[in-house]
Structure 1
Amino acid sequence: MKRLWICLLAFALLTGCGDSGDIAVTTVYETDDPPRTALTTEWETYDPSVETVWCILSYEGEGESLEYGAPYWLDVREADGSWTQVPLAENAGWDAMLYTLPSGEKQAFPCILSLFDYDFSGGGTFRVIKEIGEYTAAAEFTLTKGAVISAETPYGFGPMEEVPEYGDPAELSAGGAVVFTEAGTENADAAEIFLEKVSLGIPCQLRTLQNYYESWPMLIDVIYDGRGFLWRMRTGGEITEKRFSYIVTDGTDVYLSNGADWESTEQYDSEKAFLLPSGSGSFLVPAAEAMTDDRLAENTARYRIWSGDGMRAASLTEDPAEFSVIRCDPESGTWSRSWTIRELDDRATAVRDLSWLESGALLHITYETEKDGTLTVDFVPDAELTDPGDLCGYPAE
């Protein structure tokens, strides 16, 4: 069966940060079995205040996997309609990683605007250019003052606190929320889009409203920051916040959990929250199952909890005696390390539970011993930054 293959761009890429060279006219022709690659941006229009534009690579053809590197380029459209390459900022560069995109799959990467020597505050039309395999793809986006996607509203939603307690469901649905009322469900596709973005590692947000007019409306935000989930619920004027690490399913509904799959969720008696109201999320189960399969294949963590400030995460793995901590600090950077519980107590055999105390810097560990039963210890992982030889484990009171 013949299909149309659009060769997005063919251009001569010059070295350095100067002009991008002459770009050929887009051509369309027929071929029996074309590999089809496409590049799109998450949104079409952004406010100039944004710092990152997420791009999605897709390979819809059949055949061998395509390889690509980290580099991408940025062009700006001039007043006469021509394109000029935006120079890289001084000392900007790319890592030497090589990525593989299998056929039928998608992958995402961030276009970081600060890597380029350009004043984006005036707006304009731009295109990201990416070489993948033998092909070159481009994706346009526009920077327009006042656009919904901005530094203050990076996912298109304003703060929950600014939404009226009895806000108009139709208005919320039009603004991107999934709305559940006695009349039915509106905008359910937004939940599918949310899961796809999460699977690609794109920071995003899902907003849902449950308003059945029998009790207080329930407004819920689930914010994915690329590492974990912040769950916020407002009902009766009160806001509750919790952090979760994963999206899992029991085969019927889809949940936020700290267990990497449903088995781990039950094993560690993890706290959980419905992503959509009970009984309404079955259409998301296949996507949640695929995400879980990928997660288990790539990571040995089976249980992870985030501190209240979202800066530290402690994990348990398939090894019952092992635990690890990662800290993500915008100022000092990211670090991680693994330990065995025997490093804190040579009588220990397995870790049973983890919890963060107070500020999130103190990790409370419950563990088993051969002869002394269940014990606890409070552990300060941040101390590893100042004294690698000090494990800072001490018995809990």
Structure 2
Amino acid sequence: MKRIHTAMISFILLILFVLYISCGCTRSRAEDDYFLTRERETDVITTQSLSGEIDESDVILRTQYLVYDPSCEYVQVIVDNYTDEQVRYGEHWKIDQRLDGEWQPVEFENYGFNDIGLGADAHSGNAYSCRLSMLASELEEGEYRILKEIDNQVYAAEFRVGDSPVTAESPHGFVPLEQLPADYTSVDAADDGAVVVSQDGSITNGDKLAEFFRYAELYYWLGQLRIAQEQADGSLILIDVIRSRPERIDIVTDTTRGADGEITSRYFRFFHVKDGRIYAANFVDFEYDPEPFLIIDCPNETETLELLSDYHTGIFARDFTIYSWSPDGNIRAAYRPKADYPIILSFNNGDDGGRCKVRGGEVDGSELVDIRWRDANTCIAIVELSGGGYYYEYIQIDADDLDSTAVESFAYSSERYTLEDGEVVIPE
């Protein structure tokens, strides 16, 4: 009996030991980073100070803005890599508040991150949004720093929370267009940080162009550019170029300071440069896009134009060739040519994805040439047939289940469609 009793105790101790080890192993990587950071406090490299000064380091961690309103929902950090090799980091981050001259950790409500690898390529950068909803409480006014471990070195970027135009409603400091007064002028726009194009073509705040487009290639980068264009009749057109989610470029145009003006929104995927002009488009090949949007004519802004040339090289090689957004911007349809047919459309709503086969693309040599929308849940796949003529397929999409699609109708025509007030007109 004594042997059995002893064996039982040994077995129980073994189970407890295994459970202990298991608990230790399931502690999140974020917790490990936390304790590592606290133990290596003296090793933290601060690359952005509260004054806004940026340290001359091979790797720089900085916040997009230096001061944030307490209502802000996220703080975007940017990793600039000036080394000759890629640097690696994870989703993990932590935040400290300066209290009585000492940095003290801010508690997280749900402290855990996805254990995935991120990085910044050599002589490039990347962006990451630190969602403040993860914290146990809202940030009050004060001095803070965000810390991230990059290639086994902890970096910090200091910032403030206080009076700031950067708010939850205006995450990039610009008052929404619909809230601007009717007598808003180009002088007001320049004071607010907008790029102003005068009637003679001269540009004020041109440095804002390079500041925006420097990170335009980054998948997770969020930003906003406002352009104010003086018109010959003395009116002012305002254009917001917004990156608020991956893959999508929002173009919001305000013409309300002219006759019969309105505020409209369109959605695009790519930036293009042609003859000193910057466009937004939905085709990789600019020449095939039937409705590109001219953002600005800026032939003398050479730094910006060169940045966008690099953007083309970096992003186009790995992307779909045609994008199209539903009128409300909620559903993205895209197409990538493949050697094997049929033609497949890809759908995405920011959270989920789906696919469907285009029936008119079942013949070898047929090619999808455009994707249009009749309404928020019906897209039109337009296929140029190998034997000549065009096939038009109207596809209904369930916004809640993007794999659930149905062909509503289809049509054939010997001619390519035309556009009237943005609507597809199929020739008889």
TM-score normalised according to structure 2 size: 0.76
Shift of 1:280: 5.7
Shift of 1:391: 4.3
Which residue identity does 1:396 align to in structure 2?
F
Cα distance in 2, alignment partners of residues 191 and 383 from structure 1:
35
Give the 3 Å change call, closer, same or farther, for CA 251–168 of structure 1 in structure 2.
closer
Shift of 1:27: 8.3
**Aligned twin of 2:281:** 257
Q: Does 1:112 align with 2:136?
A: no
The superposition leaves residues 325-372 of structure 1 with CA deviations (integer Å, 9 ceiling, x where unpaired) of: 33326xxxx122334424x774583322211122x1111112244558
Cα distance in 2, alignment partners of residues 104 and 354 from structure 1:
37
- Which 5+ residue runs of structure 2 have no aligned equivalent? 1-29, 47-55, 412-428
Shift of 1:138: 0.1
**Aligned twin of 1:140:** 158
In 1, are the aligned partners of 2:380 and 2:392 still within 8 Å (CA)?
Answer: yes
From 267, 277, 281, the counterpart of 1:243: 267
Give the 3 Å change call, closer, same or farther, for CA 25–136 of structure 1 in structure 2.
closer
Q: Report the 3-state secondary structure (helix = DSSP H, G, I; strand = E; otherwise coil) of the residue aligned with 1:118.
A: coil
Shift of 1:232: 2.3
Superposed, 1:210-249 pairs within 5 Å as 210-211=229-230, 214-226=233-245, 227-235=247-255, 236=258, 238-239=261-262, 240-249=264-273
Structure 1 vs Structure 2 CA RMSD: 3.0
From 343, 350, 362, the counterpart of 1:322: 343
Q: Does 1:289 align with 2:309?
A: yes
**Aligned twin of 1:307:** 326
Superposed, 1:183-222 pairs within 5 Å as 184-200=202-218, 201-211=220-230, 214-222=233-241
Cα distance in 1, alignment partners of residues 323 and 397 from structure 2:
15
Q: Does 1:392 align with 2:406?
A: yes
Q: Report the 3-state secondary structure (helix = DSSP H, G, I; strand = E; otherwise coil) of the residue aligned with 1:49.
A: coil
**Aligned twin of 1:162:** 179
The superposition leaves residues 231-277 of structure 1 with CA deviations (integer Å, 9 ceiling, x where unpaired) of: 222331512332222111125321111112xxx2212x331122213
Give the 3 Å change call, closer, same or farther, for CA 35–282 of structure 1 in structure 2.
closer
Shift of 1:42: 0.3
Q: Report the 3-state secondary structure (helix = DSSP H, G, I; strand = E; otherwise coil) of the residue aligned with 2:189.
A: helix
Give the 3 Å change call, closer, same or farther, for CA 212–282 of structure 1 in structure 2.
farther
Moved more, 234-243 or 111-120: 234-243
Q: Report the 3-state secondary structure (helix = DSSP H, G, I; strand = E; otherwise coil) of the residue aligned with 1:310.
A: coil
Which residue identity does 1:338 align to in structure 2?
R
Which residue identity does 1:248 align to in structure 2?
H
**Aligned twin of 2:166:** 149
Matched length? 362
In 1, are the aligned partners of 2:250 and 2:265 still within 8 Å (CA)?
Answer: yes
- Which 5+ residue runs of structure 1 have no aligned equivalent? 1-12, 29-33
Shift of 1:306: 0.9
Give the 3 Å change call, closer, same or farther, for CA 180–371 of structure 1 in structure 2.
closer
In 1, are the aligned partners of 2:44 and 2:156 still within 8 Å (CA)?
Answer: no
Query: Considering only CA atoms, is the larger Rg found in Structure 1 or Structure 2?
Result: 2
In 1, are the aligned partners of 2:344 and 2:355 still within 8 Å (CA)?
Answer: yes
Cα distance in 1, alignment partners of residues 334 and 203 from structure 2:
36
In 2, are the aligned partners of 1:20 and 1:84 still within 8 Å (CA)?
Answer: no
Give the 3 Å change call, closer, same or farther, for CA 118–241 of structure 1 in structure 2.
closer
In 2, are the aligned partners of 1:253 and 1:280 still within 8 Å (CA)?
Answer: no
Give the 3 Å change call, closer, same or farther, for CA 384–213 of structure 1 in structure 2.
closer
Cα distance in 2, alignment partners of residues 69 and 38 from structure 1:
16
Cα distance in 1, alignment partners of residues 213 and 42 from structure 2:
37
**Aligned twin of 1:177:** 194
TM-score normalised according to structure 1 size: 0.81
Shift of 1:382: 2.1
Q: Does 1:43 align with 2:85?
A: no
Shift of 1:293: 1.1
**Aligned twin of 2:141:** 123
Cα distance in 2, alignment partners of residues 61 and 207 from structure 1:
32
From 57, 65, 73, the counterpart of 2:79: 57
The superposition leaves residues 110-158 of structure 1 with CA deviations (integer Å, 9 ceiling, x where unpaired) of: 11111222332x32221111111132100112111x4210011111111
The superposition leaves residues 44-69 of structure 1 with CA deviations (integer Å, 9 ceiling, x where unpaired) of: 1111111110001112234x332222
Q: Report the 3-state secondary structure (helix = DSSP H, G, I; strand = E; otherwise coil) of the residue aligned with 2:113.
A: coil
Moved more, 49-58 or 367-376: 367-376
Give the 3 Å change call, closer, same or farther, for CA 163–87 of structure 1 in structure 2.
closer
Cα distance in 1, alignment partners of residues 45 and 327 from structure 2:
53
Cα distance in 1, alignment partners of residues 208 and 384 from structure 2:
44
**Aligned twin of 1:270:** 290
Shift of 1:172: 1.4
Shift of 1:384: 8.4
Which residue identity does 1:169 align to in structure 2?
S
Q: Report the 3-state secondary structure (helix = DSSP H, G, I; strand = E; otherwise coil) of the residue aligned with 1:20.
A: helix
Cα distance in 1, alignment partners of residues 322 and 44 from structure 2:
49
The superposition leaves residues 67-96 of structure 1 with CA deviations (integer Å, 9 ceiling, x where unpaired) of: 222211111111x11111123223x42112
Cα distance in 1, alignment partners of residues 188 and 400 from structure 2:
50
In 1, are the aligned partners of 2:394 and 2:410 still within 8 Å (CA)?
Answer: yes
Which residue identity does 1:41 align to in structure 2?
T
Give the 3 Å change call, closer, same or farther, for CA 102–222 of structure 1 in structure 2.
closer
Q: Report the 3-state secondary structure (helix = DSSP H, G, I; strand = E; otherwise coil) of the residue aligned with 2:71.
A: coil
Moved more, 313-322 or 167-176: 313-322
The superposition leaves residues 87-112 of structure 1 with CA deviations (integer Å, 9 ceiling, x where unpaired) of: 3223x421121223333221111111
Percent identity between the two aligned chains:
22
Give the 3 Å change call, closer, same or farther, for CA 16–252 of structure 1 in structure 2.
closer
Give the 3 Å change call, closer, same or farther, for CA 372–280 of structure 1 in structure 2.
same
In 1, are the aligned partners of 2:195 and 2:228 still within 8 Å (CA)?
Answer: yes
**Aligned twin of 1:82:** 102
